[in-house]
Structure 1
């Protein structure tokens, strides 16, 4: 009896193998036709559905063919209807990667096409969509698209970093944490060189993959102003965000441990020191915060960006300390726009308190006397702020925020000529 059952099972496997071979042959014909016309008929999907239950008993070559045809169908459907991409593209990419894995030890019928043509095309399409979502401020969809680009190309840490940043913007902290942890695991730093040149026809700055491509493009005469700019490490930002997300989720110990591990690997990274200081500031551990701030200042005494960042993280907890750091940044770099603006803003930090009190006053002689005192106090704040904002305006004459703030202050101080001149620059 057992022998009969064994023979029956063997016969079923044999029949299944013949059936799947026939379906795979038919799929190949339809795929070759579909690849040329970009259309996959309903029969294609029917054959896929018939072959799928049988594929477990297939050879690796047959499995590779099946997953290739399955992915091709999904991409064809997406090309007909872009809205299907979020639901169908992740599985298609997984199927293409499955083909590559299956073909590692056997015939490579599809690997080269997938790696050199299909996946790069999909990646370009996905990144373009992600950029569009980002411009439209649809950060949740942008994050998903950038994450998909990383799935297509696991060497593209920039796309995963963008996915994490977009998730953070959309307050999807779980997704952001997942992406940042992956970046940390693979050791992504973002360091490198950014090659750009200006297109003479469009006057737009365009990027190039390397120095050679940029130089060749400039030689054609189509591009000018080539630049090779060093990209700083994003390691500190990644680890900081991991820790801050843990803190946001109430997992303070995980946050501190994440930061401690990062500091062990990079004890002299001032970006990490500032990130750790910011973490302790958020957890109200002021002693640790001040210790770390002082450590950072000692390690990079001539770095204006460092002192600017120290000013930023200190501004809420200790405005006097923040002012000291901003002034140091400006001393090291007199035209430091952001530091000048922040000094101007810091100078008027008590304005709201003064204005609120002014608005509550009545019309009695005592109230009027108090109003005059408060008005002079506010004017004093403006007088302290204006020199910094005027220097900021000189550094970036087109910045509308600075122009608007200066115009308002000039008007309040009844400096009407200055007010009119600044108002004329508003767009």
Structure 2
């Protein structure tokens, strides 16, 4: 009963109100209740763009404008959203009293849900471990993991679900190294990540909510035991180092350490799965762009930026006004929310010429906001870029004849956008020691 009441407060009321408001054309409600928006977000935000840089909604504002999004992500007049924090008072009261005591990426102590001074302390501690040298070492691990996974694909059937067999397995291997996860436990990490992916959304159905809670609960129980094990048997992984740094005076308590680890899972798994899956589909759909990479592999880093821009793994963010202020000539009152449509900002024609064209050589592709901005800029951006570049380059080097074998399907999520499955015909495999000559000669 308690869980059902929490779903009602956190999601059921939102679903009901959004369904009514969507019929009246409210854009924010349509994002929650209109399946057409989820199926074709480009048509939706293209429709919204003429309405101006800041669009009034039933419960606040939203923007599809790159300049406004860039400003909001860095503004001291706004703070990040805490899940459930902007519900109406009676509903918020019910939500707080029926909530399970589980880690959540949008609740403190997650870096996504706190502001200074807590945010400054958490980020400083994590940054002391997540250094450039550490990321460089992880890149070597990405290279090795990608090669091992591709060896397995080469030995298997000719048509595979590339999301299940490759795009999800590569980030799990990397996250496993960061968190010090034994190989035997990594399938559980994959399961928890998939179950909890919709946790960033509001207005979940009851079955979705139950799956999310199951994933969050399982991960909480596993993580508590895992951190205790690392304290007793520290390794050379980054989580062991973070535990040691905390004990040496950084003062991250147990809940804060769990919050950091939970964020690594939430931000480092699903988003990278989506980057790899979106990238493979785009490059198979646009063989002319793949041919450019064959001719000039130095374009791979920029290709990753263009994939992040055009198919943003994180579609949405939001900020809450701390005080009365003005945004793009519009007054925003203290306590009002602004939804930042990152995917729309990344296709703003005022910034990106012919924004819906996939162009791996686009000179300003890196101006996207896929990694947020300001003090909440993604700590793992460098690693995500490395995983994208290495994972995609190695896949197309090993399988130069790969072709789509079906349309695939999208994940049932709104904040995160990616593929649930994508059948790919691999074709002949090039030798890992001697890749296809058309790649190797230009490499």
Answer whether TM exceeds 0.5 for this pair.
Answer: no
Q: Which has the larger radius of gyration?
A: 1
TM-score by length of 2: 0.21
Structure in which a larger fraction of residues adopt helix = 1
**TM-score with structure 1 setting the length:** 0.22
Higher strand share: 2
